[in-house]
Each structure stands twice: as structure tokens, then as C-alpha cells.
Amino acid sequence: MHHCPYCGTKVRDNEAYCIKCGKNLPEDMHERLDTKQQFNKYWYIPIAVAAVIILAIGGYYIFQQQQTAEAKELYKKAEENAVDENYDQASTHLKSALDKQASFSQADTLLSYVQTAQTIEEQMNQVDEHLDQEAYQDALSIINDAENKLTTYIGEAVNPLINKLTEKRSAIKLEQLRFNLEQEPGINDLKTLLWEADAIQTDKATEVADNIRGQIVDHTFAQASEQLKDKQFSDALLLVEDGLKYAPESEKLQSLKTTIEKEKTAFETAQQHRIEQAINSAEAERKLNENDAIELVEADVTRDDQGNAAVKGQVQSVATIPINSILIEYDLMQGDEKLLSNEVYAYPDTLFPDETGEFEFTHFDIAKRKNLSVTINQIRWYTDHQ
């Protein structure tokens, strides 16, 4: 059936005119209608193609979304593994993530770090080998190189490895420090080693630093005491003040400093002349001894951690007035043989009635001597009234 182009009435396909309006139908109307129907059928092809393309794009988008989600999940697992320093597993996850999403820049960066961390872990075995060979600088060079490799990386995964390298560096420096201490360093070397020990900042390093500080105090006390005996007050003060820079809490050095200052003042104001007369005069010594101002409590020879001989003792004031600058003269004996004579000031510098003071002197040049004992020959002092 077709429609009349003039009135719209339906007409059969073989009719030549319209029954309703009586007009002759165009001869080519049937041909044009067939062409139109054929043309309408072709519209289904592009529509179908468009539908297929849309479905394909949608499917690909969903697939990509799924791949991205899986890649992110793998990245998260890899990051957790990296924080736990499980680098092999982290590497496996990251490679899988990049297979699923090649443009995953975060995964690519983390994989680069993980591979660097794996290289560093291999180098750490060399560090232990260098430590066994006491090649401390070579071990530190490896740590420096490893830290340089990590400068371009930041994040939670990097922190454990950085902390591990820092701890290893401290351990290496502590081992090197202990090795250097075994070489019996001098006073100047001890000061350098103390600075190195304080820089490590660990509990074990603090113990070593305290030990070094004690050695510096002993060296300083011995040297300053020698200068004091020779009346070299300025040199003695310089030594003590330098020692106090490294051990400011040392009561031993603080007391010695006070003693030196008082001795220096007495010498400069002519009081030293009277003191020397009293010390050098047998009659003055006799009178002072008769007063029994000082009583020896104990005196002994001990060994410090380095094996040096240390003369230690204690005195007590039985006077009724304060006494100052208590000087103990003693002989260091090996059996019946006198090795040397020495003098040492007790601290604190001033003793009030019934108070006790201590004295100590470390001898660094007789470390190999055994069966040592000390004999106290004389104790001298002066009062503010002398």
C-alpha cells in the first residue's frame, strides 16, 4: 500500500489513480517509494556499528578500571613490604602492578627504590667483612655511598633503611673508637676521641665517652700537679681549665683549680715565703705534727681500667679550725724497693673540723710494675691564721 501524494489516501501498489480525489498517480511513485524503503534499511548498519563501538569502548574502560584497581592494590602491598624491608616480595608486586598499568609512575619510582635497597643490602655484607678486618674507613665509605644513593628518595618506605644505615654507621664508629683506645692514645688524642664519642650519641658511646673523660681528668690532674709542684701556677691553671672544658663536672679538677689559685695568690702576696719556711723548717714541721691536725684514714695502690697505677687515699681533719692545701708526700714501693717519691694535694682544698678529704694520683709510666704499695711519709697543710 502507498499514499496518494495529493490527498494522502491509501492506494494499492498497482493502481494508476486515486479513487478518492480521482487524480492520476505519478508514474515513478512506486519506484521512488521502493528506493526510500531500501534507503531506510541502510540506516541500521551505522547504528549497529556505533553500538558495537560503544560497547567495545565501555568494555575497554571497565577493563582498564579493573587493571588500575588491581595495580593500586599491588602497589599498596609492595609499599607495606618495603616498609618491612621485604624487598624481594615488594619487587614482585611492583613488577606485576606495572604489567597491569605501565604508566604507573609511583610504582615505577618505588621499584627503583626497592632495587636500590636490594643493592645496598648486598653491600652491607661487605661492611661486616671490613669490620672483621678492622678496615673501618672502607666500611664507612660503603655507608656513605649507600646514603648518597638514597638522597633522591623520600617516604615511609625509605625511613627504615635510612635508620638502619645510621645505626650501622654509629656501630662502625664505636668499634673504631674502641680500637683507637686500645692503642694507648696520648692526652691530645683522647680529646679528639672524646669529641668523636660524644658525636655518636648512643648509650654505649656514652659509656665510652665517660671512660675517656675520666682518662682526660687523670692525665690533666697529673700534669697540672707536676706544674704546681714546680710553682708554675699559670701553666698549671691552663692545664686544669683546659681539662674542665672536657669534664666540667669533675670535682677533682675543680678542687685542684682552687688549690692552684690559692697557692698562686699566697706566692704573689709573700705568704708563700712563710709557707715554704714552715714546710722547709724541721721545727715548723715538728710543731705542725704535734698539733695532729690531719689524720690518715687509708692509702692504697689500685689499678684503673687501662692498668695504670693509681695512689688513692683518705685523710680526716681533727683540727678545731679550717685547714687548707693539704699536701701528702708518699713513696711508691715495689716490695722493699722505693720506685719514686711524689706529692699530691687532697681535695676538697679546705677541710673543716671532722671533715674528710681524698687524694688520688695516677702514675702512667709504671703500668707493668706489680706488687706495688704506698708509704705515706708526711702530710703538710696550712691555715688561714698562718
Would you write out the chain's pLDDT as a tens digit for each of its 386 residues? Answer: 556 665 656 656 566 556 666 666 566 555 555 555 555 556 666 766 666 677 666 655 564 556 567 767 777 777 777 777 777 878 887 777 777 777 777 777 777 887 788 888 888 888 888 877 788 888 888 888 888 888 888 778 888 888 888 888 888 888 888 888 888 888 888 888 888 888 888 888 888 888 888 889 999 999 999 999 988 999 999 999 999 999 998 999 999 999 999 888 888 886 656 656 656 555 655 565 456 789 999 999 998 888 888 999 999 988 887 888 999 999 999 988 899 999 999 999 999 888 999 999 998 877 677 889 999 999 988 876 55
Side-chain-facing half-sphere of 148: CA atoms under 13 Å: 6
Side-chain-facing half-sphere of 29: CA atoms under 13 Å: 18
Intervals of CATH 2.60.40.10 along the chain:
292-382
Query: CB of 153 within 8 A of CB of 116?
Result: yes
Query: CB of 26 within 8 A of CB of 5?
Result: yes
C-alpha cell at 19: 479513487
pLDDT value of residue 359: 95
Peptide bond into 46 cis (omega under 30): no
Query: CB of 250 within 8 A of CB of 217?
Result: yes
Distance CA 104, CA 68 (A): 9
Query: CB of 91 within 8 A of CB of 119?
Result: no
C-alpha cell at 124: 652491607
Chain centroid offset of residue 309 CA: 35
Q: Is 208 helix (H, G, I), strand (E, B) or coil?
A: helix
DSSP code at position 362: E
The mean of the pLDDT values for the chain is: 79
pLDDT value of residue 34: 54
pLDDT value of residue 62: 62
**What are 127-181's pLDDT values in tens digits?**
888 877 788 888 888 888 888 888 888 778 888 888 888 888 888 888 888 888 8
Residues in the chain: 386
Q: For the beta carbon of residue 54, count every other beta carbon within 10 angstroms.
A: 10
| 159 CB burial (10 A radius; 0-12, 13-18, 19+) | exposed
Q: Could you tell me the pTM of the whole model?
A: 0.49
CATH architecture assignment, domain 292-382: Sandwich (2.60)
Question: Which amino acid, one-letter code, is at 379?
Answer: I
DSSP code at position 349: S
Measure the N-to-C terminal CA separation of the chain; round to a whole number of Å: 151
Chain centroid offset of residue 117 CA: 20
Sign, CA torsion 90/96/97/99: positive
